[in-house]
Structure 1
Amino acid sequence: MGGSHLQFLLLLGLLSYGFSLNLLDYDVRCKEEESQALLQFKQHLVDDSHMLSSWDSHEDCCKWNGIRCSNKTGRVVKVDLRADLSAEPLPKYVAGEISSSLLGLQYLTYLDLSFNDFPGEPFPNFVGSLTKLRYLNLSRTYIAGTIPQQLGNLSGLISLDLSGNMDLIELHNLDWLIHLSSLRHLDMSFVNLSQVLNWQNKVSMLPTLTDLSLSSCSLSTTIPPFLSNANSSSQLLFLDLSFNDYLNCSIFPWLFNSTTSLVGLDLSYSGLRCSIPDTFGCMDSLRSLDLDSNSFDGGIPKSIWNLCNLNSLSLTNNSLSGHLDNGFMINVSGCMGSSLKVLQLDENTFTGPLPESIRNFSNLEILNLQQNKFTGPLPKSIGNLYNLKALRLQQNNFTGPLPESIGNLSNLEVLNAADNSLEGVISEVHFSNLFKLRKLYLGSNSLNLSFNYDWVPPFQLDIMLLSSCTMGPTFPKWLRSQKNLSRLDISHAQISDSVPAWFWDFTPGLESLCLSHNKLHGELPDLSSSRQGIFGRIDLSSNIFEGSIPHFNSNVTFLDLSNNRFSGPISFLCDSGVISLTSLILSNNTLSGELPDCWMYFQELAILDLANNNFYGKIPSSMGSLVSVQFLHLSNNRFVGNFPLSLQNCSQLKTIHVGENNLSGKIPSWLGDSLPDLVILILRSNQFYGSFPLNLCHLSNIRLLDLSLNKIEGTIPECINNLTAMSQKESSGLIDYYGFLTYFMDHASFVWKGKESVFQTSLLLAKIIDLSNNLLHGEVPEGITSLMELVALNLSRNHLTGLITPKIGLLQHLESLDLSRNQLHGEIPASLSDISFLNYLDLSNNNLSGRIPTGTQLQSFNASAFIGNRPELCGPPLPNECPGDFHPDYTNSTRAHKTDDIQTNDHEDGFISQGFFVATSLGFIVGFWGVCCTLLLNLKYIKIDASRFQCSSDVKIYKLCMTVTLCMRMLQSWIKKLYGIH
């Protein structure tokens, strides 16, 4: 009986426990009212990525994606709908409206809607009523409007993230913030706080705040009233005030008084203009200090080296200067040397050598010194930085060899010493222990990479940029070992060899290849198969490759095969399907045939350069489909027919160069209306006829207009003064023009100072109008003198008449002026002699007359600049004298006054004494020397491709002139006194 009773009690207990479990399971199920609130919230969302596919009314909402309930009460406590933008195959996010139905979740402690898409939606004010919230994240949801005061009701909030909402603005001086007494994490980066004047006060009143980010908030600095330490943010560990352009150095007193335990401080890009305060040395807790991209000047205070816990110091892009061995690095204390892991001093003006004391930074992992003015050899002690992972020394003036001790840096992953003046031999020793090296930049030095023929490097590189390093004459075999390369540049490497067959598929991930400016020869293989790499960018220019152009992989975006010996048609374009091309440069080859008519497939193409080949036929109308093209070079071929009307669709064009062809018809008037961004228009040496289109005057951005060697007739329109880019100094527009040119520098050839020249680096500085060799008649419009930045004007070989405008002197930047072989008449304006930069002038073969204006400029030109005019044109440098020029007849005067007793006093018939003759001769010498001096001083304005002599040369010439002139005048004065001449 007892045993049965015990079994009964045990069974009853089990049943009770099971019943209680069922009750518990029932209790933790989602509450119906909260399930309905969530479903109403879903109705206001757009869920194209099916992020909320599990939200089904037939399922327990506690099991829905992004929902968590309390284990005890079953209440929804967490809604985490953070978007997954990295999801495959498509990102997962929701859009639409943030519905107030979430108010049905009154036990909610965690709400994260970050990275979803609610553009322009107002701030969800109802959130201020969810009083149990501890975590709120609405970052990067693109909500707009003002931040509500109701946020102050969330007194238990621990973390608040509103960052990334650039259309959100705070209008209430953050008054709501002071009620969040439990707040530890606050991120309002990119929120507009420009109207908040006392933000320092408000954040200082949050005693538990440890992490504050107010980056890119348009903050300004005000000096807050004194705060007691009791209310200050003494617990703040991380502070980010970066990218606030209106801060100033008055932020530092608040910073040093109110934040006593900072571990990380970021003040980068904040417009700070002063010296780095010594007080930083008192922030003993600092581990990371970022002062990048401000305007700090002077040196680095020695007190910073007292920060024994500092791991990272970043001072990039300031105006700091000084030598690193002047108390800056040479006396580094042991604690600093052993703690610092990141030192970034790049983009300043530090000078002098890198001291041997760099060895003191024994734990350094990143050393960035690029873009300074360091000189001298690299210290051998740099090889003692055994923990170094990244060494960036590029763009300095380091000289001498690369130390062999570099080979000791077994943890090194990035080595960049490009753009210095290093020289000497690089051998296997330099790379002996660099097992982890992934990126190697040694370009633009004078280094000679000399390895044994069978050397196998210990590393596998991702990036290898060795431009201008000698690697030839044979093709480097050791490259074959590198299987992970994504970028390879061995241009200017003095390689005179064929490219081995293994090279074209030795690394399947190669995205960028540059072999330019070598003497590589042979034919290229078919590069279209997938096994031969993706080759996003290929530059094989300036070699001796020959044969037809092969097919390329469809992933190629940039292709430069210029300056080789390729021949035949370019049918590969239509066959290869390289529709991803953005740049196609095939100039200076012997390519031939008609252009293919498949340009409609290249809508991403921005650069097309086919100049200097043997193409013929008409320009295909399908080129009008190149809606992205900006630079079109078709010059020096044999194209015929009219300029394609379809090109008016290419509204982004900046350069059109179709010179040296056989195109005909009238110059299209739509050029001035459809191509507003046109900067260079060269139609030279074709068969265009008709009048100068008035619509060309709408080209307000044009800087180079060349219509020469055509059959254009009529007059030069008065509206030519509307070419306003030729009257304005260069500004950011020039930068915008080159903004796209990562791999391509535009170029153009035109007649410059009587000779054909090719301009590249200074192309847009040369503002030029060339209408020569046409059938233009009438007068030169006076309005052309309003184009005051004009550098060259060529109107020669036309039928122009009238006077040279007296206002020609307004063109003060003019260097080349050619008005020859016209029918201009009248005198040469005196203002022409005022153009200081003028160093090429041709006014020959006109009907000009009168005296050539005297001045330092015009008399310096050869007489050929003035020949072929009317005989009445006179004066230097022409040999014919002008009427009224004074030349005393010394012979007749002497004959009339022959006598044995020559008097030294003056006579009525103009007797010239010996002393007067000597003094006059010296006067001529002094005057002649003065002219020579003036000419010498004006030589400094002669420009060759926009360059001038250095100021030091000018000063030496000036001093020489003044010294000799003073001596001459003293000698003249002494002779006058000697002979009693007054």
Structure 2
Amino acid sequence: MSTSKISLCLLLCLSFFTCINSDELQILLNLKTSLKDSKSNIFSSWVSNNHFCNFTGITCNSNRSSVQEIELSDRNLTGTVPFDSICQLQALNKLSLGFNSLYGTISKDLNNCVKLQYLDLGNNFFSGSFPDISSLSELQHLYLNLSGFSGVFPWTSLGNMTNLVSLSVGDNPFDPTPFPNQVVKLNKLSWLYLANCSIEGRIPVEIGNLTELINLELSDNNISGEIPSEIGNLVKLWQLELYNNQLSGKLPVGLRNLTNLANFDASANFLQGDLSEVRFLTNLVTLQLFENQFSGEVPAELGKFKKLVNLSLFTNKLTGALPQELGSWADFDFIDVSENLGTMKILLMLQNNFTGEIPASYSNCLTLERFRVSNNSLKGTVPAGIWGLPKVTIIDLALNQIEGSITQDIENAKSLAQLFAGYNRLSGELPEEISKATSLVAIELNNNQFSGKIPASIGELKQLSSLKLQNNMLSGSIPESMGSCDSLSDLNMAHNLLSGQIPSSFGLLPTLNSLILSENKLSGQVAELF
């Protein structure tokens, strides 16, 4: 080949790539015009005299001739997306625009982005329906959750996406639809988020074909019928969210196979039967089964679950004693068990028919923030350490048959805001140390057998808004210091043995709305105080 022909060939090639560069540069500059960044200043590098491969958020191919990725998620962007131009980027395989404030409709031009493997439009403010995207057969990740889409979702277009690994289209007000059959054919899926997107009817048994699933979220829909036993095939599941549906029947046989499950929530349904299938799920971190119709006892095995930090079983028909080791979870590989106290944060077991006593091991749960076991049939005394748990914000023991006293340990409960222990058989004197629980907002100890004097130190509780001590056997005078509880709005000490003058300081309480002192031996006129 002659020198002149070689030179001509090089010139033509150079012109070809220059044309490509010029086209792709202009497409990105058009995109910059359509989008506004309110805070991030991400487009400062998007200027015509800069090579587009150097633009922030842009990744090119190896020879820097074509755009492969646009990563502009979570950049405080507003505006509409010009898919008619973006999809002219012939090598584009990733478009990530999630977590912004983009709006408008999605045009059918999106179908021209045929090389896309990753598409994220989630967490935006789009409107209208989402178009059929059957041509995007190479997609592996599709995120459209919480984006404002409505109407009929094009489920049929998923049939071409046989390599789909992540599918997240939840939290959009789509038209009601049965569980889409196209989804259960995507056997490479590892992440499936279909929560709150108007799915109704039954979960198909073919769900068991999705054996690569790690996450399955179907909550906040109108799904009915039983949980299919085939769900036990999903042995890689880490999270299973089914709450707030219309599910019925028992927990399926085979659920025990999901030994990798960390988070299981089937609360707010109509499930019934016992919890025996749960006792094998030893890696659970969160177990939420409240507001169902479960019966029988809580499996003793739950007391050995060392990772469990959130257990909610309230509003069921459960009976029997609580597992004695629940909440301790010491790691016996260590000799010094003081380094292995429980890590439970929340214990919710209200509104059942639990019997027995509160396990002493709960006193070791120094991370516990909410302890609620009200409206059961618990007996015995409260382990002393529970009164003084350092991080607990609510202790709710009401409506049981608990005896004993409130111990001096309560001085350590620096985070305690709500103490509910009414309608029990508690007795003894109220400890002076209750004043050290300085975060207290509400104290309800009514309908017990407390006796002795009301501690004068109670006036130190400056945040106290509600104090209910009615129907006890408290005696002596009402401390004048209670007039220092400047936040007090609701005070009830009726039906006790109190005597002496009604403190004049009550008349200085700025927010007092309700004062009930009847059925005592007090003197003075309440009306004179106000």
In the superposition, the TM-score normalised over structure 2's length comes to: 0.71
Task: Report the CA distance shift for 1:477/1:62 in structure 2 as closer, same or farther (over 3 A).
Answer: farther
**Residue 167 (structure 2) aligns with:** 186
**Residue 466 (structure 1) aligns with:** 420
Does residue 406 (structure 1) correspond to residue 357 (structure 2)? The answer is no
Does residue 80 (structure 1) correspond to residue 71 (structure 2)? The answer is yes
**Residue 496 (structure 1) aligns with:** 454
RMSD value over aligned CA atoms? 4.4
d(CA) in 1 for partners of 2:409 and 2:259? 48
d(CA) in 2 for partners of 1:135 and 1:303? 34
Q: 1:215 aligns with which of 195, 216, 225?
A: 195
Does residue 38 (structure 1) correspond to residue 35 (structure 2)? The answer is no
**Residue 125 (structure 1) aligns with:** 108
d(CA) in 2 for partners of 1:397 and 1:197? 37
d(CA) in 1 for partners of 2:155 and 2:204? 21
| 1:488 CA displacement | 3.6
Q: Is the 8 A contact 1:522 1:546 kept in 2?
A: no
Q: Is the 8 A contact 2:151 2:173 kept in 1?
A: yes
Q: Is the 8 A contact 1:497 1:521 kept in 2?
A: no
Q: 2:97 aligns with which of 113, 116, 120?
A: 113
Q: 2:313 aligns with which of 369, 377, 395?
A: 369
| 1:305 CA displacement | 3.3
d(CA) in 2 for partners of 1:323 and 1:124? 50
Q: How does 1:233-382 map to 2 (within 5 A)?
A: 244=199, 246-248=200-202, 251-256=203-208, 258-322=209-273, 328=276, 336=280, 338-354=282-298, 356=300, 358-359=302-303, 361=305, 364-378=308-322, 380-382=324-326
**Residue 547 (structure 1) aligns with:** 507
Question: 2:119 is matched by which residue type in structure 1?
Answer: L
d(CA) in 2 for partners of 1:391 and 1:288? 20
d(CA) in 2 for partners of 1:186 and 1:273? 22
Alignment deviations for residues 511-567 of structure 1 (CA, whole Å, 9 cap, x no partner): x8533456675464596xxxxxxx8xx6444367613344xxxxxxxx6632279xx
| 1:123 CA displacement | 0.7
**Residue 164 (structure 1) aligns with:** 146
d(CA) in 1 for partners of 2:458 and 2:240? 50
Task: Report the CA distance shift for 1:262/1:109 in structure 2 as closer, same or farther (over 3 A).
Answer: closer
d(CA) in 2 for partners of 1:192 and 1:265? 19
**Residue 102 (structure 1) aligns with:** 86
Task: Report the CA distance shift for 1:460/1:68 in structure 2 as closer, same or farther (over 3 A).
Answer: farther
Task: Report the CA distance shift for 1:437/1:255 in structure 2 as closer, same or farther (over 3 A).
Answer: same
Q: SS of the counterpart of 2:32?
A: helix
Task: Report the CA distance shift for 1:55/1:462 in structure 2 as closer, same or farther (over 3 A).
Answer: farther
Task: Report the CA distance shift for 1:126/1:217 in structure 2 as closer, same or farther (over 3 A).
Answer: same
Of structures 1 and 2, the larger Rg is shown by: 1
**Residue 515 (structure 1) aligns with:** 467
Q: Is the 8 A contact 2:258 2:281 kept in 1?
A: no
In the superposition, the TM-score normalised over structure 1's length comes to: 0.41
d(CA) in 1 for partners of 2:385 and 2:53? 64
d(CA) in 2 for partners of 1:135 and 1:266? 20
**Residue 807 (structure 1) aligns with:** none
Task: Report the CA distance shift for 1:309/1:67 in structure 2 as closer, same or farther (over 3 A).
Answer: closer
**Residue 203 (structure 1) aligns with:** 183
Q: Is the 8 A contact 1:83 1:94 kept in 2?
A: no
Question: 1:369 is matched by which residue type in structure 2?
Answer: L
d(CA) in 2 for partners of 1:454 and 1:216? 45
Alignment deviations for residues 197-224 of structure 1 (CA, whole Å, 9 cap, x no partner): 7931x33554543323333333xxxxxx
**Residue 720 (structure 1) aligns with:** none
d(CA) in 2 for partners of 1:541 and 1:113? 55
Task: Report the CA distance shift for 1:252/1:502 in structure 2 as closer, same or farther (over 3 A).
Answer: same
Q: Is the 8 A contact 2:149 2:174 kept in 1?
A: no
Question: 1:83 is matched by which residue type in structure 2?
Answer: D
Q: How does 1:59-74 map to 2 (within 5 A)?
A: 60=50, 64-69=55-60, 72-73=63-64
Could you tell me which runs of 5 or more consecutive residues in structure 2 were left unpaired when the two chains were aligned.
1-16, 331-341, 471-477, 494-501, 518-524
Q: SS of the counterpart of 2:204?
A: helix
Q: Is the 8 A contact 1:247 1:270 kept in 2?
A: no
Q: Is the 8 A contact 2:390 2:415 kept in 1?
A: no
| 1:467 CA displacement | 4.6
**Residue 154 (structure 1) aligns with:** 136
Q: Is the 8 A contact 1:41 1:99 kept in 2?
A: no
Question: 1:147 is matched by which residue type in structure 2?
Answer: F
| 1:163 CA displacement | 1.9
Does residue 140 (structure 1) correspond to residue 92 (structure 2)? The answer is no
Q: Is the 8 A contact 1:319 1:349 kept in 2?
A: yes
d(CA) in 2 for partners of 1:41 and 1:411? 50
Could you tell me which runs of 5 or more consecutive residues in structure 1 were left unpaired when the two chains were aligned.
1-26, 85-91, 219-243, 505-509, 528-534, 551-558, 566-587, 593-612, 614-982
Q: 2:397 aligns with which of 420, 442, 447?
A: 442
d(CA) in 2 for partners of 1:51 and 1:539? 51
| 1:135 CA displacement | 1.9
Does residue 417 (structure 1) correspond to residue 373 (structure 2)? The answer is yes
**Residue 352 (structure 2) aligns with:** 396
**Residue 962 (structure 1) aligns with:** none
| 1:137 CA displacement | 1.2
Q: SS of the counterpart of 1:515?
A: strand
Task: Report the CA distance shift for 1:427/1:125 in structure 2 as closer, same or farther (over 3 A).
Answer: same
Higher-RCO chain (CA-CA 8 Å, sequence separation at least 6) = 2
| 1:359 CA displacement | 4.1
| 1:73 CA displacement | 0.8
**Residue 916 (structure 1) aligns with:** none
Q: Is the 8 A contact 2:406 2:431 kept in 1?
A: no
Task: Report the CA distance shift for 1:215/1:405 in structure 2 as closer, same or farther (over 3 A).
Answer: closer
| 1:395 CA displacement | 1.7
Alignment deviations for residues 798-843 of structure 1 (CA, whole Å, 9 cap, x no partner): xxxxxxxxxxxxxxxxxxxxxxxxxxxxxxxxxxxxxxxxxxxxxx
Q: Is the 8 A contact 1:546 1:564 kept in 2?
A: no
Question: 1:563 is matched by which residue type in structure 2?
Answer: L
**Residue 20 (structure 1) aligns with:** none
Question: 1:182 is matched by which residue type in structure 2?
Answer: N
Question: 2:396 is matched by which residue type in structure 1?
Answer: Y
Task: Report the CA distance shift for 1:322/1:388 in structure 2 as closer, same or farther (over 3 A).
Answer: farther
| 1:465 CA displacement | 3.3
Task: Report the CA distance shift for 1:358/1:209 in structure 2 as closer, same or farther (over 3 A).
Answer: closer
d(CA) in 1 for partners of 2:482 and 2:400? 30
d(CA) in 2 for partners of 1:269 and 1:417? 26
d(CA) in 2 for partners of 1:291 and 1:320? 11
Task: Report the CA distance shift for 1:73/1:55 in structure 2 as closer, same or farther (over 3 A).
Answer: closer
d(CA) in 1 for partners of 2:161 and 2:41? 33
**Residue 6 (structure 2) aligns with:** none
Q: Is the 8 A contact 2:189 2:213 kept in 1?
A: no
Q: SS of the counterpart of 1:406?
A: helix
